[in-house]
Structure 1
């Protein structure tokens, strides 16, 4: 639970110890249960059933093979909006799959591609610093953008899905990704970024942070941030807001006072039910009012 409490040098990741190349696929499926580094699930953990849904793993064709993803959508009907769900640093573990089911219950085709599959299986890593330095630091932003594009193409090919109603939601690492993908793909109608880093991750394979593209953003993104987050400083959010005002995106940042990073993660000690419930309403309204 120490993620965010001290800075890491993302520009100088640790050497790989397993001898695998970056392009080698390290797993062929999304892991079951909760990631080891996330710790034991708290009593507040929310579990959403699959009644009335089609839910499970699918494979997404990409340039260099296939990546796994978890997809949930209503079992009956058509014209479902497409919602990309972007993982935390813990991968597409049970919490992210449950988020997909929650949105599927609300009529979405929600899909979470495994973003780290080429760099490592984070589900079995017990140490958060190891995940950050040996996996997260090695995931190129360009790769992430391509994989999300491929996911849209795959899910948008389903007869029951309306990919013109495209949205994206992400958490932690995925929150940063939301800002970047909204800039990359102007076809996105709306995005929601939960406590995503807005600066501090630049490296050769991560050339720009959200604050660098905010002024050029055209897609409306709602940023949901924690007032007691030690990693995402108020100065960074102020800079992000200043840049967003230069854009015509209509993006907005909300800071929840007194809550910590991960306030939506119901399986972790940082979970705050009141903040999470209100944030969920804000997110749902934001997407719906913008056509997703």
Structure 2
């Protein structure tokens, strides 16, 4: 049996196992008292060899030497094992972080935006900062695997990413910024994927705004199935973003097909 925690960590790394749990470490070091193991874990943390992913989870991440400067291996290595397997939390990477995986974000995403069932506090792991957003009915949302040589994590489909961006535009810098991302996302979207995402989210206002945006960007192939989806659902006049202003202050135009008032700054070339 190994005598030191460092020997255990080195052996795990050689096997390609970077996610370890406290129970595994205690099993591999049966001669170590709980206090001795706690101190050894603390020393490895101080040395940058180990990262504890969240308080109380007992989930530890080994940091290989090549990732010492960033303080943790890539997100694909540990996000899914930590959230889905250790914590049992349904999740998907979404919003601008999801758009980035499709090469559709013109902005540098400084944090990783993760959708979860209930609100969680932000987490920093090395140079990775995770921000969590609550999403109801998360297990019904369409996702796919984002894979790399380091591992994989769940990410929203392009169509769900589109709906999420529209729904949360105010926290992302407004609709002008969101539209820049959407223009790069349209080629990744399919009519079938769009209907699947709409059925999962079940938000008529988001669907209406999507329709107006598809019209502005001449996306007829996606516009037709959306019109079919909305046909038997009740709609009311809404603004493309924010609240609908009084009638005498509406200088833009109204998309009568989707009942969306579009302000002048959101013209087709904006």
Is the pair's TM-score, using the shorter chain for normalization, greater than 0.5?
no
| Greater relative CO (CA pairs within 8 A, separation 6+) | 1
Alignment TM-score, normalising by the size of structure 1: 0.27
Please state which structure has a larger fraction of its residues in helix.
2
Alignment TM-score, normalising by the size of structure 2: 0.29
Larger Rg: 2
